[in-house]
Amino acid sequence: MNIDQWLQENTFHHSHFWDFRHMVEAKEKQDLTVSLCIPTLNEEKTIGKEIVIFKSELMSRYPLLDEIAVIDSGSTDQTREVAASFGADVYLASEILPEVGEKKGKGENLWKAIYQLKGDIIIYVDADIKNIHPRFAYGLLAPLIYHPEIKYVKAFYDRPLAFSTGVRPTGGGRVTEILVRPLFSLFFPELTAIVQPLSGEYAVRREVLEAIPFPIGYGVETSHLIDVYTRWGLGAFGQTDLDQRVHRNQPTRDLGKMAFGIIQTFLSRAKSLNIIPELPELNHALRQFQSKEGTFEQVEYHIAEEERPPMMDVSAYREKFGRHP
């Protein structure tokens, strides 16, 4: 499958999937269960609205979701309490698979969700979406229901940046366009067909999620794309246009940390695939500078992209789901 063919056949718009009753019938005919996972860390302002909308429209009105779960990293605000009050199942990531220990990072939450949740399909949706709408779930689920050959569906959208003065209609995706897209163009050109490789919204079949490793930090989305592509090919992916996503704008310094983690993951994959067979020992200290009282002050961060193994390598998971290595 070439890029043009893939873009034609595997790129969708959420409006294609307006017939919810037909979608529910197709889901039930295939005997599929679907879990919605929302990873959180201090999202008390937006989590309640997300749960209300998903639960009312996609559980009560149209039974497309079988569970809605929040996997929390240890919020210090009222995120967990708010989520529970609106009817979500709420789990603390550190209490899932306690025998493997606790690590901090969004990827850790996503990985532990595979063990905790029951769905044949897991939909991951970030918790900070200001313009939340049911399309953020059904737009990703539908291609998996209607196209059995598709295994992993990514979201893409216009990403206006929210400012105190209003909404600027362009921008966003800066790390994608400055770092990830150039790297993919050089080493994995077919993956450049994915409009927003770093989007936090995607739906994946369990058979895929349990078979791939998970960086615990910033590199998780990049590693997913490379691992799924090298194992199943471009045809395993779909992508859905969700129109627009409004969220917090991250400062450039935080984007630098994200890029630092992503490039570590990318180099690790390139080495394991023998694309870049020899690498020196990598430094994990990121040095940045800030201006303070007329002088430049250095700030150093230690960012090492640790990884969790494929969930199929975890004996407790195999026992719970009756899987055999």
> Torsions phi, psi of 109, nearest 5?
-65, -45
- Residue 264 and residue 255: Cα distance in Å, rounded? 14
Are the C-beta atoms of 88 and 70 separated by less than 8 Å? yes
Buried b (16+ CB within 10 A) or exposed e, 110-146: bbbbbbbbebbbbbbbbbbbebbbbbbbbbbbbbbbb
The first and second tokens of residue 123, run together, are 């939909």
Q: What is the mean pLDDT of each run of 10 residues along the chain (325 residues)?
A: 93 97 98 98 96 98 98 96 97 97 94 98 95 97 98 87 46 81 96 94 98 96 98 97 82 90 96 92 89 84 92 97 85
Take residue 40 and report the two structure tokens written for it. 């959180």
| Contact between residue 237 and residue 154 where contact means Cβ atoms under 8 Å apart | yes
Instruction: Check if CATH label 3.90.550.10 holds for domain 3-320.
Output: yes
Q: Which residue has the tokens 């003065």?
A: 165
Residue 145 contacts residue 26 (beta carbons within 8 Å): yes
What whole-number distance in Å separates Cα of residue 325 and Cα of residue 313? 7
Report the run of H or E that residue 308 belongs to, with start and end.
strand 307-308
Cβ–Cβ < 8 Å for 160, 146: no
Buried b or exposed e, range 192-211, using 16+ CB within 10 angstroms: bbbbbbbbbbbbbbbebbbb
**C-alpha closest to that of 159 among 203, 112, 191, 196:** 196
* Residue 233 DSSP SS3: coil
pLDDT (0 to 100) of residue 163: 46
CA distance 83 to 41: 12
- With vertex at residue 222, the alpha carbon angle to CA 141 and CA 250, rounded to the nearest 5 degrees, is 90
Q: Decide: 15 and 47 in contact? Cβ < 8 Å.
A: no
Q: Could you give the residue ranges of the DSSP H alpha helices within the chain?
A: 3-10, 20-29, 47-55, 79-85, 106-116, 135-146, 174-175, 181-187, 206-209, 220-232, 252-272, 315-321
Res 189: pLDDT? 96
**Distance of alpha carbon 213 from alpha carbon 242, whole angstroms:** 27
Distance CA 49, CA 75 (A): 17
Q: Where are the domains of the chain?
A: 3-320
**Whether 167 contacts 144, CB under 8 Å:** no
Pairwise CA distance, residues 83 & 104, whole Å: 20
| pTM for the whole structure | 0.93
Torsion of CA 97, 103, 105, 109, to 10 degrees: 0
The CA distances from residue 229 to 34, 117, 184, 273, 295, in Å, are 23, 25, 12, 12, 47
Non-local (6+) Cβ contacts of 81 within 8 A are none
pLDDT at 61: 98
